[in-house]
């Protein structure tokens, strides 16, 4: 049960966010005055009509110098530079001042999960941070949040030769953290290695583990639930990005968009839909001045709706996957989340691949935890009006779980039809 102190703090912080946030027009004007990138985009006249401003795409940021996006006002105050993973072939640059970097911790104080997380750290301070610590900012910001909440952090990192899965698994066995931060699939890999290489230690490791903080990979609600069930832990999955820590996962089972962001939705032809509905998401960060993100086409396919959350949040988002990897079935747009929600109702699986043909769906699933496949093919048939064939693979067939992961596993849905509109990037 959340106390009065936590509720008052959240109310105060939400009010402070709204107070400090600029209007979309004012942030656009700030960007025009202070960055070469936006000045060349908007021209010399003051911004007056926000909805007439051009959208900023990932390709546009790739082709510009990172310094063109750096605010002249804050160029001597930035202390961090980061990029997105660039899994679409267009990594996005971003700068951080010390205050902006600390913002991830301050925003975590808004979370209803913050109080139980701090209580958990009083019992066992050890945390393992298995998020990437290279160009992206996620690993650094999650580590900062854990340390400031009282944690002792092992910065194991991910996907590097110095932190291969076997070494991270060994560290988990020796140090027995209460909290692990990492991508969901990475977490499953580490736990499988522990089960195979340290069978006598496995139960003790699981008993000490209380929370998985996951991000960096789409994870449906049903998949979250299966991981919680398998390991008996709380699984807090965050939809975030290098461009800004813009959502919070809530005990009300929703992901909330923070009031420091103005979000818009666009259709397939980039016609404006509005603030609510299903479409391609575009964000404007109303606080971040060192690297302004104004009408930045994040371009995930999402559903945004009003929220009646008991914790006071007003807007929720369901990420469906990257728009360019979406598929159309019977004139309806689908993405990986739509399929994943069904798949993980039937058990916990490792990695998976789904292939869409004109006359069928083929689904490869890696075994992992408990599963009962009865009814899965029939539910796919009802949902997508296509016969479905399922093939179960041993864990490791699709994921080389003992090796360094050289790419981000975003391509789980492949459209093999002649009518495919998927745009699979050269870099994954």
For CATH 3.40.50.12780, list the domain ranges present in the chain: 4-102+246-322
Rounded Cα distance between 408 and 425, Å, is: 12
Q: For the chain, where do the domains classified as CATH 3.40.50.980 start and end? A: 111-237
CATH 3.30.300.30 in the chain, residues?
326-415
Q: How many CA atoms lie within 13 A of 26 on its CB side?
A: 8
Q: Which pLDDT score is estimated for 138? A: 87
The two tokens of residue 175 are 């140090």
Give the tens place of pLDDT for each residue, 141-153. Answer: 999 999 999 999 9
Question: Is residue 87 scored above 80 in pLDDT?
Answer: no
Segment 303-324 shows an average pLDDT of 95
- Is 118 in contact with 150 (CB distance < 8 Å)? yes
CB atoms closer than 10 angstroms to residue 1: 4
Is pLDDT of 88 > 80? no
> What is the model's pLDDT at position 2?
74
Give the pLDDT confidence score for residue 377 in this predicted structure: 96
Amino acid 273: pLDDT: 98
Q: Could you tell me where the beta strands, DSSP code E, fall in 37-122?
A: 78-83, 93-97
Helical pair 165-175 and 184-197, crossing angle rounded to 10 deg: 70
Q: What sections of 149-262 are H helices per DSSP?
A: 165-175, 184-197, 199-208, 221-231
pLDDT at 385 over 90: yes
Say yes or no to pLDDT of 242 above 80: no
Burial class (CB in 10 A: 0-12, 13-18, 19+), 336: buried
> What is the pLDDT at residue 158?
85
- Higher pLDDT: 17 or 37? It is 37
- The conformation of residue 424, written as its DSSP 8-state character, comes to -
| Length, in residues, of the chain | 428
Given the DSSP bridges, would you call strands 361-371 and 347-356 parallel, antiparallel or unpaired? antiparallel
Lowest mean pLDDT among 125-134, 329-338, 400-409: 400-409
Residue 273, H or E segment: strand 272-274
**CB of 108 closer than 8 Å to CB of 236:** no
Confidence of residue 241 (pLDDT cuts 50, 70, 90): low
Where is pLDDT greater, at 86 or 287?
Answer: 287
Residue 149 confidence (pLDDT): 95
Quick one: pLDDT band at residue 68, thresholds 50, 70, 90? very high
Tell me the pLDDT band of 243, cut-offs 50, 70 and 90: low
Q: Bridge-partner residues for 255, per DSSP?
A: 249
For the cut 80, the answer to whether the pLDDT of residue 116 exceeds it is yes
Bridge partner list, 364: 353, 391
Tell me: the pLDDT tens digits for 1-20?
A: 678 888 899 999 999 999 99
Examine the pLDDT at 333 and tell me if it is beyond 90.
yes
pLDDT in tens, 184-198: 999 999 999 999 999
Domain 4-102+246-322 has CATH 3.40.50.12780: yes
Q: Which of the listed CATH numbers 3.60.150.10, 3.40.50.880, 3.40.718.10, 3.40.50.980 matches domain 111-237?
A: 3.40.50.980
pLDDT recorded at residue 245: 73
Per-residue exposure over 397-422, b if at least 16 CB sit within 10 Å of its own CB, e if not: bbbebeeebeebbbbbbbbeeeeeeb
CA 358 to chain centre: 31
Helical packing angle, 199-208 and 184-197, nearest 10°: 140
Percent pLDDT > 90 in the chain is 83
Question: Does the pLDDT of residue 373 top 90, yes or no?
Answer: yes
Q: Beta strand 255-257 with 247-249: parallel, antiparallel or unpaired?
A: antiparallel
When pLDDT is cut at 50, 70 and 90, the band that residue 426 belongs to is low
Q: How far, in Å, CA of 246 to CA of 305, rounded?
A: 15
CATH tag for 326-415 (out of 3.40.50.300, 3.30.450.270, 3.30.300.30, 1.10.150.20): 3.30.300.30
Structure tokens that stand for 290 in this block: 């060192």
Whole-number mean pLDDT of the chain?
Answer: 93
Tally Cβ neighbours within 10 Å of residue 34: 19
**Tokens at 97, concatenated:** 């001042």
Question: In this predicted structure, what is the pLDDT of residue 180?
Answer: 98
């Amino acid at each position: 049960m959340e106390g009065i102190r936590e509720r008052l703090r959240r109310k105060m912080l939400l009010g402070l966010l709204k107070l400090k946030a600029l209007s979309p027009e004012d942030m656009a004007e700030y960007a025009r005055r202070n960055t070469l990138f936006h000045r060349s985009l908007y021209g010399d006249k003051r911004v007056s009509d926000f909805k007439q401003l051009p959208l900023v795409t990932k390709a546009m940021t790739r082709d510009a110098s990172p310094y063109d996006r750096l605010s002249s006002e804050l160029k001597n105050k930035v202390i961090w530079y980061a990029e997105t993973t660039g899994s679409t072939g267009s990594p996005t640059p971003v700068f951080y001042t010390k205050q902006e970097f600390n913002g991830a911790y301050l925003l975590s104080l808004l979370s209803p999960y913050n109080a139980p997380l701090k209580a958990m750290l009083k019992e066992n301070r050890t945390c393992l941070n298995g998020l990437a610590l290279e160009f992206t900012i996620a690993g650094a910001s999650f580590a900062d949040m854990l340390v400031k909440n009282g944690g002792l952090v092992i910065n194991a990192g991910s996907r590097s030769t110095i932190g291969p899965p076997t070494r991270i698994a060994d560290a988990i066995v020796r140090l027995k953290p209460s909290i692990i931060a990492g991508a969901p699939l990475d977490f499953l890999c580490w736990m499988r290695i522990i089960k195979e290489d340290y069978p006598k230690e496995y139960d003790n490791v699981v008993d000490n583990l209380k929370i998985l903080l996951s991000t960096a990979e789409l994870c449906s609600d049903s998949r979250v639930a299966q991981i919680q069930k398998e390991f008996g832990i709380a699984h807090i999955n965050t939809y975030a990005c290098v461009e800004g820590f813009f959502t919070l996962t809530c005990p009300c089972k929703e992901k909330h968009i923070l009031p420091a962001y103005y979000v818009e939705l666009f259709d397939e032809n980039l016609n404006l839909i509005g603030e609510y509905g299903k479409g391609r998401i575009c964000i404007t960060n109303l606080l971040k001045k060192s690297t302004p993100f104004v009408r930045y086409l994040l371009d995930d396919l999402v559903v945004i709706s009003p929220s009646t959350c008991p914790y006071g949040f007003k807007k929720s988002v369901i990420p469906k996957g990257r728009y360019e990897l979406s598929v159309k079935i019977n004139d309806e747009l689908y993405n990986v989340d739509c399929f994943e929600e069904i798949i993980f109702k039937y058990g916990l699986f490792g990695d998976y691949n789904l292939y869409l043909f004109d006359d069928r769906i083929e689904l490869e699933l890696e075994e992992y935890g408990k599963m009962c496949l009865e009814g899965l093919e029939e539910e796919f048939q009802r949902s997508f009006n296509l016969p479905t064939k399922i093939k179960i693979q041993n864990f490791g067939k699709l994921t080389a779980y003992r090796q360094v992961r050289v790419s981000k596993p975003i391509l789980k849905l492949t459209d093999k039809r002649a009518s495919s509109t998927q745009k699979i990037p050269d870099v994954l």
